[in-house]
Amino acid sequence: MLKNSPNGYGLIAIVIHWLMAITIFSVFGLGLYMVELTYYDTWYKGSLDLHKSIGMTLFIVLLLRMVWRFVNVTPQSADNNASRFEKGLAHYGHIFLYILMAVLMLSGYLISTADGRAIDVFGVVSIPAIPFSFENQEDIAGEIHEILAWALIVLSAGHALAALKHHFINKNNTLVRMLKVLPSNK
């Protein structure tokens, strides 16, 4: 089952979810490593280029993920006992995660293109800079990028804890539905 059903997520949604989760935590770790490097460190340019390439690729995957979510059915809540508040929190939490990721990646783009140069993505494609910039663009976008990166990690950790709560405390299949494709009649 590639597509979502009313009872669970399809293979495409599951793969994109986990691919993005692993990549986001990895690129966050790379970012923490990068900020400790000086210009003269051996891996300074390589880590920066890798971070930019992964970030731009992740942005494209995020756009594809949002389109996929829009054209697919959203599975019903696996927790029949969830309050209206919990369901609202989950719904708006997911929307906030998408917005946070998009703005985080946009701020990274603004950092990287502040000098007017394009971003080279793995030597395959070049993403052009916008034809204008604003004063202190790199510094302002850098501050925003750092704050949003930490916010994304904290919110993602909360998202993971909520999934674990559903699995171990509520004893429903919220987490299982994102680990494997379930038959559509379950």
Model-level pTM?
0.93
Q: What is the pLDDT of residues 2-20, one digit of tens each?
A: 999 999 999 999 999 999 9
Q: What is the CA radius of gyration of the chain?
A: 19
CB 51 within 8 A of CB 104: no
**DSSP code string of 13-29:** HHHHHHHHHHHHHHHHH
**How far apart (Å, rounded) are the C-alpha atoms in residues 76 and 62?**
22
User: What pLDDT, on a 0 to 100 scale, did the predictor assign at position 183?
Assistant: 83
Torsion angle (degrees, nearest 10) of CA 6, 7, 12, 18: 130
**Whether pLDDT at 182 is above 90:** no
Per-residue confidence at 185, pLDDT binned at 50, 70, 90?
A: low
Query: What does the pLDDT look like over 123-163, one tens digit per residue?
Result: 999 999 999 999 999 999 999 999 999 999 999 999 999 99
Hey, CA dihedral for 51, 54, 58, 59, is it positive or negative? positive
pLDDT value for 21: 97
The H-or-E segment that residue 120 falls in is strand 119-121
Instruction: Give the burial string for 3-31 (b: 16+ CB within 10 Å, else e).
Output: ebbebbbbebbbebeeebeeebeebbebb
